Structure 1
Amino acid sequence: MAAPLPENEMQRVIELSEFDLDYSSLQENFKDLAKLAAKVAGTNISLVNMIDSFTQWTVTNYGLDLEQMPREDSVCQYTIVSDQFFEVKDLSADDRFKDKFYVKDDPNLRYYFGVPLQTSNGIQLGALCVLDTIGKEISPEKVEMLKIIADEIVNRLMVIRVINGLKNRVKEAKETQKKVAHDIRGPLSGIVGLAQIISEQGNENKLDEVLQLVSMIQKGGHSLLELADEILSSEKKIDNPSQEVGSNEYNLLIFKEKLEKLFAPQAVNKKINLRFLTDSKTEDIHFSKNKLLQITGNLISNAIKFTPVSGKITVELSIVITRTKQLSIKVSDTGSGMDQDTIHQILYGEQESTQGTSGEKGYGFGLMLVKHLIIKLHGTLNIESEPDKGTTFSVLLPIV
C-alpha cells in the first residue's frame, strides 16, 4: 500500500529545515511533555517524532528506546496527513502495519494514537504519539489534552528556532564588526604613517604649532588603531584551536561526530560500510552549523537508499582555503548511479523519486531540499555519476 504524502510536502520539508534541528540533542527539551502525554493517555510509551524526506527522527522518547526509523516504516507518516489525529486500535490487524518490526517483534506494539505537530501556518512537522502493547480507549477529553501538549511542543520548537536565528544573526553581526574594523584599520595606518613623516619634516623646520597638531593626529590615530585591534581580537578566538567551539558552530571533528551518530545506524541496518574522513590540517577551523545537518544528512540518506547491501559510502569533510574559506562536503557511494539526463534534472529541474536498491520508497524531495538550501547559502552543488558506477555529490559552502 502506497504511503501517504502531504499535498504541501516540499513546503513542509523546507519549513522543517528552517528549524535547523539537531535531532540527537533534543531529548531534554521535550522529556517532560512526552512523559505527561503517556500519563494522560494511560499508555506505557510516548514519542515526539520529526519526519523529514527519508527518516522519522524520535527527538524525545518515553518508555521505548528509539531514535529513528525509515519514514516508510512509521505510523506517524499517516498522522502528518491528518488535521486532527490518527488512531490504530490494533496494529497487528492492520495490513499497513502488521508486518512492521515493532509489531512482529519486541516490543510487539498494538495500540497507536498520534496528534500532528502543526505550526500556526498549517505545516505538519511531525507527530506526538502514544503507544502500548495492549488496546486502549482514549476519551475526547484526553484527546483534547494531547492536542494541548502537542501545541506546547510546537511552541518550544518555535523558541528553539528563534534562538538559533538569533545566534546566526549575532555571528553575522560579529563578522560585520570585524569587516568594519578591517576597513578602518588600513586608512588609519596610512594616517599614522603620514603623520609620522610630517612630524619628522616638522622637526627640521621647527614648526611648533604644526608639530603639536600632528602629534594629536598621531595619538588619535593610534587610539583608533587600538580600538580596531580590540574589535579584531574576537577573530583570534575563531582561528585559535584552543578556543571552545560556540554553541552555533562546528569544526570538522564535531561535524563528523554528529553525522556518525545520526546516520551510522541507517548504514548498519542496511549492512553498508559508511566512512567519514576529515582533513587533519583544517579540522580545528570553526564554521556556522546553519543547515549543515539538513544538507549533508539528506545526501547521506539518499546515498544509503541507492547503495546495495555491502556497498560503500564515503563522506569527506574539509576546508578549502584560497582567497576565501569554503566548507567542502563530498558524499560518494558505490550505488546504482545515474545518467546525465537525471543529473541535469536534479541540478536544473525537478527530479521524481525512484525506488532504492532494497525497495525503499522515495519521496522525491530530499535532493530538491538540498539544492534549495545550498542556493540559499550561496553555495554550489556538483554531481558526478554513471549508471552502475556510483555517484559523488560535491558541495561547496562559503565560510564567512
Structure 2
Amino acid sequence: MNPIPENELERLLKLSELDLDYTGLKLSFQDLTKLAAKVAGTDISLINLIDSYTQWSIASFGIDVEQMPREDSVCQYTIAVPEEDHGFEVKNLAADDRFKDKFFVKDDPHLRYYFGVPLKIAEGVNLGALCVLDKEYQDITPEKREMLELIAGEVVNRIKIQFAISQLHGKIKESNKVKNRVAHDIRGPIGGIIGLAEIIQLQGDANKLEEVLDFIKLIQKSGKSVLELADEILSQDYGKDNKKLPTDQEFTMGTLKQKLEDMYSPQALSKSVRLEVSYKDDNADIPFPKNKLMQILGNLISNALKFTPEEGVVSVTMEMEVLDQDKILRFEVSDNGVGMNEEKIKEITDGKAVSTQGTQKETGFGFGLNLVSHLIQGLKGKLEIESEKGKGSKFKVTVPLK
C-alpha cells in the first residue's frame, strides 16, 4: 500500500501554484545536493519533487536521474511521515519488503541505505524530499540530521525565491508594456487637444464665441477619450501582441510541444507506448501565459500513459484560436487504452476521481485527475471527456485567455 499524505490535494495544489519547470532547475540546486552528500558521507544525494504520478529529480549528485514513477520512489514515504519524525530512514533497502524488489535495489546501483528529509513549503505541506543514499549503511547522527534539515530548508527558500523572481519579472514586464502603450496611444488625442488650444490662441480676438465653445467641447471630448483610453489600456492583457517573443512566463505552441516531449517521452518509452505531440500552425508563434498548463497536460499525459497498453499511442494535439482581443487554447489528450464507463467519467468531471491500477499494475494515487479538474476550473476553462470501455479515452481542455 503506497502512502498518501492526508492533505494530498492541498499539497498538489501548492506545488502547481509554483508552476515550476522541473527540468530547468538543476543549476540552481546542484550545489545543495553535493553539500548534502558531503554532510551525510554518502555517495548519492537527490532533491526530488513529487507530483500526482511522477518523482522529478530537479538536482542530483553521484547519480544521473531525472524522473521515476512515484510508486517506485522511496521519497513518497518521506513526504507522508509525521512532522515530529524529522525524516524517513531505511537502513537496508534490500531487507525491506517495500523496497527490496525495486530496480535501483536489485540492479545497478544496488542501493542499500536511504535517509530523506521533507521539503516543507508550509505547515504540514511537503513538496518532495532531500534524500541521501548509499550502497552501504551510513550512520546519520543527530548533528548530521540537523544539518540536512537546514539544507532542506535552503532548498525550499530557493524555490520560493525563484517563484518570487518569476512573479516580479512578470509584473515588471507588464508595467513596461503599460507605460509604452500609454505613451504611444495617448500621443494622438493629446496632440489634438494641443492643436485646438493653439488655434484658439492664434485667432485671438478673431475668435467667435460659438467657435470657442465648439473648440472647448472638442477639447473636453478629446480629454474624455484620453481617460477612457487610459482605463482601457490599464485593464488589458498585453499577451495579445502577435510579434513579441515569449518570456520565461510564456509558451508558444512550439516551446510547449518541446517541453512536453522532453518531460514525458521517457515515461512513454518505459511502457513501450508512442507519445505524439502536434499543434496547428495557425497562430503557433503567438506567446501565451504558462498558467498551470504543464500541470494540466502533464497529469493528463501521465494518466493516459498509465492506462495505455504496450505498443499503444498517446496523442496530444494543441491549437490556439484568436478572437479579437481574446484567445482560446484547445488541447486534446487521447489514447487507445482501456477506456472508461460513464460513471468513471462523472467522477472525474465532478472532481471525485478515485485511484485504479494501470495496464502494468501501476499504483494510482487518485489525485491527478482531481487536480486537473480543479486547475481547469480555476482558469475558467472546460474539461470534456469522451471514452468507451476498451476503446480508449479523449480529454478535451478549453482555456480562455482574456
Identity %: 49
Quote the Cα distance in structure 2 between the aligned partners of 1:399 and 1:136. Answer: 53
Q: What does residue 384 of structure 2 align with?
A: 382
- RMSD in angstroms over aligned alpha carbons? 3.5
Q: Secondary structure at the match of 2:114?
A: strand
Q: Which of 84, 104, 107 matches 2:106?
A: 104
Quote the Cα distance in structure 1 between the aligned partners of 2:213 and 2:144. Answer: 80
Q: What does residue 36 of structure 2 align with?
A: 37
> Normalising by the residue count of structure 1, what TM-score does the alignment of the two structures yield?
0.87
Asked if structure 2 preserves the Cα contact closer than 8 Å seen for 1:18 and 1:161, the reply is no
Q: What does residue 92 of structure 2 align with?
A: 90
Q: What does residue 155 of structure 1 align with?
A: 157
Amino acid at match of 1:9: E
Asked if structure 1 preserves the Cα contact closer than 8 Å seen for 2:351 and 2:374, the reply is no
Q: Secondary structure at the match of 2:22?
A: coil
Asked if structure 1 preserves the Cα contact closer than 8 Å seen for 2:273 and 2:310, the reply is yes
Amino acid at match of 2:312: G
Q: What does residue 115 of structure 1 align with?
A: 117
**Where does structure 2 lack aligned partners over 5 or more consecutive residues?**
none
Superposed CA offset, 1:53-97 (max 9, x none): 100000111111000000000000111112211111121221111
Amino acid at match of 1:298: N
Quote the Cα distance in structure 1 between the aligned partners of 2:181 and 2:344. Answer: 42
Superposed CA offset, 1:287-329 (max 9, x none): 0012111111000000001111110011011102335311111
Quote the Cα distance in structure 2 between the aligned partners of 1:388 and 1:180. Answer: 57
Q: What does residue 294 of structure 2 align with?
A: 293
Asked if structure 1 preserves the Cα contact closer than 8 Å seen for 2:351 and 2:369, the reply is no
For the pair 1:322 / 2:312, whether they are aligned, the reply is no
Quote the Cα distance in structure 2 between the aligned partners of 1:328 and 1:176. Answer: 28
Is the alpha carbon distance of 1:218 and 1:270 closer, same or farther for their aligned partners in structure 2, counting shifts above 3 Å? Answer: same
Q: What does residue 16 of structure 2 align with?
A: 17
Q: What does residue 281 of structure 1 align with?
A: 282
Quote the Cα distance in structure 2 between the aligned partners of 1:170 and 1:390. Answer: 45
Quote the Cα distance in structure 2 between the aligned partners of 1:291 and 1:210. Answer: 60
Quote the Cα distance in structure 1 between the aligned partners of 2:46 and 2:351. Answer: 37
Asked if structure 1 preserves the Cα contact closer than 8 Å seen for 2:177 and 2:238, the reply is no
Amino acid at match of 2:296: I
For the pair 1:394 / 2:391, whether they are aligned, the reply is no
Tell me the CA shift for residue 126 of structure 1: 0.3
Q: What does residue 136 of structure 2 align with?
A: 134
Quote the Cα distance in structure 2 between the aligned partners of 1:51 and 1:60. Answer: 13
Number of aligned residue pairs: 386
Asked if structure 1 preserves the Cα contact closer than 8 Å seen for 2:329 and 2:400, the reply is yes
Superposed CA offset, 1:250-293 (max 9, x none): 11101111111110100000000100001112210110012111
Tell me the CA shift for residue 389 of structure 1: 0.8
Quote the Cα distance in structure 2 between the aligned partners of 1:8 and 1:332. Answer: 30
> Normalising by the residue count of structure 2, what TM-score does the alignment of the two structures yield?
0.86
Quote the Cα distance in structure 1 between the aligned partners of 2:366 and 2:37. Answer: 34
